[in-house]
Every structure is written in C-alpha cells, then in structure tokens.
Amino acid sequence: GAMVIVGDGGTVPTPGGGDPTGQWAMTSATLYWPAIARGQINTEGGAITGTGWVVIDGSNYRLSTDLVLRVDSTAAGLVVRPSTLASRGTYTASGGSLALSPVCFASTGMSPGGNSLGFSRDGADRGRLFVSLAGAAGMATLVFDLQRAP
C-alpha cells in the first residue's frame, strides 16, 4: 500500500458511514502521515503489505490483520515493523464512527490509538476502514480498502 503526507498531494478521506454489516476483506491500504512528517518520512521508500479482514454482524465484530510496515525515515533509515492485531467484541455505530468494546484483544507492533474506527460504505460490495495510529511523527491515519465477501 501507499504512503502519503497530508498536504503533499494528499488529504485524509473522511469516514462517511453507511451499513458496516458483512464480511470484509482488506484489499489495500494507504497510510496518511500528518504534515509534520514532511522531511522526516520518505514516502517513496515506504510500503504497507499484508492481509486482513473484518466481520461485522449485528452488534458484534471480529477483526484480524497481519501487516508489515516499512518506513523510510531520515532519523533511523529503513524501519521494518511487522504487526498483527486480533480483536473481537461489540460495537456501536454513529455516523462514520464505530466505537469498539473489545472482549478480546491482542496486538504486536503498531496498535490503534483508541477503540474507535471509522467506516465508509462506498457501494454494495466496497467500503473503507479508518484506523488512527499514534507515532513519533504525530497521529497518522491508516485507511484500508475493503471488498465485501460473497
């Protein structure tokens, strides 16, 4: 997936809401760094790879990701950070926000900055999941493109 610094040709999309119910596969990801990261992060040298899925049914959710984040920073050079996340519990939706109440949570590497995700339904079988990440360069937003499973 791509990396973008906000203000350098990219703006963070806004969660638009919609019905999140379904089984969703993560097809790609874009990491939006805050403008303060300019000069600290080389977006051309970075990438996000991996797999993930989310199932949202009634008031319950299950979420799993297995990612590798490659960040090319001016201070540390290329940093490779594997990250897994598994979570399940209940959620409530309000507009474009999903407030999670995990009953089980395990994470290595990067973790979401709180228990709130964003969601946009972009068609019958497409959506986006928004995750805020806290880091040394400020709050970044990881946006997963989703494809609804048949």
- For every residue of 122-142, DSSP letters joined together read -SSSEEEEEEEEEETTEEEEE
Per-residue pLDDT of 13-61, as tens digits, reads 999 999 999 999 999 999 999 998 888 888 888 999 999 999 999 999 9
Contact 42, 72 (CB under 8 A): yes
Task: Count helices and strands (H / E) in the chain.
Answer: 0, 9
> Does 120 score more than 90 pLDDT?
yes
- Other beta carbons within 10 angstroms of residue 58's beta carbon come to 8
- pLDDT for position 108: 86
- pLDDT for position 45: 87
Q: How wide is the angle at C-alpha 100 spanned by C-alphas 96 and 104, nearest 5°?
A: 150
Question: 3-state class of 78 per DSSP?
Answer: strand
Question: 3-state class of 52 per DSSP?
Answer: strand
Contact 132, 112 (CB under 8 A): yes
* pLDDT band of 113, cuts 50, 70, 90: low
* pLDDT band of 111, cuts 50, 70, 90: low
Q: Which two tokens stand for residue 12?
A: 């963070």
Instruction: Calculate mean pLDDT across residues 78-97.
Output: 93
Share of the chain above pLDDT 90, in %: 61
Q: Which residue has the higher pLDDT, 73 or 53?
A: 53
Contact 32, 12 (CB under 8 A): yes
Q: Which two tokens stand for residue 103?
A: 């009953």
C-alpha radius of gyration, the chain, whole number? 15
- Other beta carbons within 10 angstroms of residue 80's beta carbon come to 9
Share of the chain above pLDDT 70, in %: 94
